[in-house]
Amino acid sequence: MIYFFLFLFSLILTYFIKNYATKKSLVDIPNDRSSHTAPTPHGGGIAIALTWFSGISYLYYVNDISSSLYFALMVGVIISVVSYFDDLLELSARIRLISQSLVALLGLYFLGGFESFSFYFFSIENHIFTNIFAFFMIIWFINLYNFLDGIDGYAGSEAVFLGMTGFILFGGSHFLILVVSVLGFLAWNWHKAKIFMGDVGSTLLGYNIAIFTIYYANQEVLNFWVWIILFGVFWFDASVTLYRRYRNGEKIMQAHNKHAYQRLTQDGLSHDKVVLLSMLVNICLFFIVYFIANIYVALILSIILLYSLLMWIDKIRAFK
C-alpha cells in the first residue's frame, strides 16, 4: 500500500510543480542543441526527490533498509538541493564539482568505503586505490546521468528499468520506492513531455545508481559488473561520446548534442521510439546478466551489443 501512496504523491506533486513552474515562467527555452521545440517547465525532479527521500525514510523507520545504505542514499539530499539551485541560477562548474565531491566522500563514508575491485585474473583490495576509483565513479555517474537526460522519458525510464531489475536480482524495498517515485513523474514526462526532470532529478538518480553499485559490490565483488552491465546504455554512450569529443579537440565541458540518443532524434526518430529502443536494449542486457552465469562473459557480450548498436547509429547519423 505504501508504494501506491508514494506513486500518487509523486504524480500529484509533479502536477502542481508543473503548474507552478508554468505560472512563474520557470521553463526551458529551446536552443540549437535542444531536442525539444517548445518551452517546457522544469523541476519535476523535485517530486522524484521528495517522494524518494520520504519513501526510504519510511523504510528506515520500519527497519526495512540497512542503516549504511539509508544514510548513504540520504546524502543525495545535498546534490538535489545544489542541483535545484543550479536549475534556477546556473551555478558555476566549481560549485557543482565541490558539491559532487562532498556527496561522493560522504556516500563512501556511510558505506564503509569500496572494499575491493575484481576483474577476471586480478583484484585490487588496497582501500586507497579502490576508494579513489569509487570517488571518481560516483562523480562520473552523477554527471553522465545528467548528460543523458535530454529527451522525453529517457532518464525516467532508465531509472524505472534499473529499479525493477535491481529488485528482481537483489530484492530490497528501496528499489520499488525508486520505481514508484519516478513513475509518478514519468506520467507527465512521456512524449510529449509536459515537464522536465531538471538537474535536481537527474543528478540524484545518477548518485543513487553509483551508491547501489558500490553497496552491492561490497556484498559480493562481482555484483559491480552486474550494475555496470545493467547501466550500460547510459555509461557506454556517455563515455564513448566524451572520448570522441576529446579526440576531436572539442571543449568537453561545453554543452552539445552528439550523444547517440540525440543523433537518433536528429534523424527524425520520435522521442518515444528512441526510449522504447533503449528499453529493448536494456531488456537484452538484463537477459545477459540473468541467464549467463559467468559475469565476464556477460560483460563481453554486453559491450559487443552496445558497440554494435553504436555502429548502427553512426551509420544512420554520423558522429561529427
Please indicate, yes or no, if residue 189 is contained in any of the structural domains: yes
pLDDT, tens only, 38-59 = 788 989 999 999 999 999 999 9
pLDDT of residue 35: 64
Report which of residues 121 and 297 the model is more confident about. 297
How large a percentage of the chain has pLDDT more than 70? Answer: 98
Please indicate, yes or no, if residue 157 is contained in any of the structural domains: yes
Please indicate, yes or no, if residue 190 is contained in any of the structural domains: yes
Please indicate, yes or no, if residue 279 is contained in any of the structural domains: no
Provide mean pLDDT across the span 155-184: 98
- Residue-range definition of the domain harbouring residue 218: 2-224
Total domains present in the chain: 1
The string of DSSP codes covering 217-256 is: HHHSTTHHHHHHHHTHHHHHHHHHHHHHHHHTT--TTS--
pLDDT, tens only, 181-211 = 999 999 999 988 899 999 999 999 999 999 9
Least-confidence region, from 19-23, 32-36, 273-277: 32-36
pLDDT of residue 150: 87
pLDDT of residue 38: 73
| Angle in degrees, 0-180, between the axes of helices 93-111 and 127-147, rounded to the nearest 10 | 130
CA distance to 185, 206, 283, per residue, from 145 (Å): 17, 5, 19
Provide mean pLDDT across the span 286-313: 97
Please indicate, yes or no, if residue 263 is contained in any of the structural domains: no
Please indicate, yes or no, if residue 246 is contained in any of the structural domains: no
* Confidence tier at 31 by pLDDT (50, 70, 90): low
pLDDT of residue 255: 80
pLDDT, tens only, 85-96 = 998 888 898 999
pLDDT higher than threshold 80 for residue 231? yes
